[in-house]
Structure 1
Amino acid sequence: MAASVSDRFDIDATPEQVMRALEDVERIPEWSSAHKSVEVLTRDDDGRPLRIRMTLSLLGFSDTQTIEHSWTESSTSWTLVESGMQRSQDGEYALEQIARGTRVHVTMSLEPKVPVPGFVLKRGQKHAVEAVRKGLTEFVLSNYA
């Protein structure tokens, strides 16, 4: 069963500052407790991460994933390449300039390889989105604003 989640929140920083924080994928474990390690495998010509491997632990499940990023001036999206626990995963951070900073739109969908009760899947996604909202905001303000 595939599940999707989305959220939006504002950060009192410029879109460029938020994007620099998103590009700093190796530091995701500093603001996301689910991420135990992140390693950049390949980068694009501008130095932005393209393929990364990460180890996550959420709600008692651990997984090592490889994902492929795409970057624009105002967004980054990713697609799952390899995972022990997931059949598919796609997500995006889209940034929008607003009067007092940046509105961050987060979307994510995933499909586990094994059946997972819908309420467990939704709870995990809700936890992930809350971690992004709080953790990314604090990370941007502490390191890039």
Structure 2
Amino acid sequence: MSTTVSRTILIAAQPDKLLSTLRDIAAYPDWQQDVETAEVLEADELARPSRARMVLSAIGKRVEQILVLEHTDRELKWSLAPGHEKSLISRNDTEFRLVETGDGSTELTVRQEFEFNLKLPRTLARRIVERRSASMVRQFKEAAEA
């Protein structure tokens, strides 16, 4: 059973700077506490990451994920690569959507859908996903505004 959360936050930075930060996969461990390592495995014709590997600390365990990334002018989306659904996290669909506000800031909406290969009570799974999402968005805001 999947758990979906969505958060919207205002960040004092232009969308291009935010996209640049989001696309810098190798720097995720610098600003995202749960990411131990991250690397780009493949890039598209515009040198944007299209496939990446991340090792996370999740629920007290070390989890490796291979992600497939998609880009538009104001969005970044990723999901687990086919064949990587058997780890602790069996679904990780994440979408970052940026809207310029006109005053030098950007509204960021992050939507995440997770599914675990553990038998967890639904309320516990939701709490884990909400806590992780809130932490990630807060840490991203701090990194982007620095």
Shorter-chain TM-score above 0.5: yes
Amino acid at match of 2:53: R
> What is the number of equivalent residue pairs in this alignment?
142
Give the structure 2 partner of residue 117 of structure 1: 121
Give the structure 2 partner of residue 96 of structure 1: 99
- Aligned-pair distance for 1:29? 1.0
Identity of aligned residues (%): 25
| Cα distance in structure 2, aligned partners of 1:120 and 1:30 | 28
- Aligned-pair distance for 1:79? 1.0
- Aligned-pair distance for 1:35? 0.5
Aligned pair in 2 of structure 1 residues 18, 99: CA closer, same or farther (>3 Å)? same
Q: Secondary structure at the match of 2:40?
A: strand
| Cα distance in structure 1, aligned partners of 2:34 and 2:123 | 18
Deviations 1:14-46 (Å, cap 9, x if unpaired)? 111111111111111111111100011001111
Deviations 1:34-81 (Å, cap 9, x if unpaired)? 110001100111111111111101331321010100000000001111
Matched, 1:128 2:139: no
Matched, 1:45 2:49: no
| Cα distance in structure 2, aligned partners of 1:123 and 1:57 | 16
Please, which runs of 5 or more residues in structure 2 have no aligned partner? none
Amino acid at match of 1:98: T
Using the size of structure 1 for normalisation, the TM-score is 0.92
| Cα distance in structure 1, aligned partners of 2:92 and 2:133 | 14
Using the size of structure 2 for normalisation, the TM-score is 0.91
Amino acid at match of 2:23: E
Q: Which runs of 4+ in 1 moved over 4 A?
A: none
Contact persistence 2:4–2:114 (CA under 8 A): yes
Q: Secondary structure at the match of 1:116?
A: coil
- Match of residue 144, structure 2, among 113, 119, 140: 140
| Cα distance in structure 2, aligned partners of 1:72 and 1:134 | 23
Amino acid at match of 1:5: V
CA RMSD of aligned residues (A): 1.3
Please, which runs of 5 or more residues in structure 1 have no aligned partner? none
Q: Secondary structure at the match of 1:93?
A: strand
Q: Secondary structure at the match of 2:18?
A: helix
| Cα distance in structure 1, aligned partners of 2:89 and 2:137 | 23
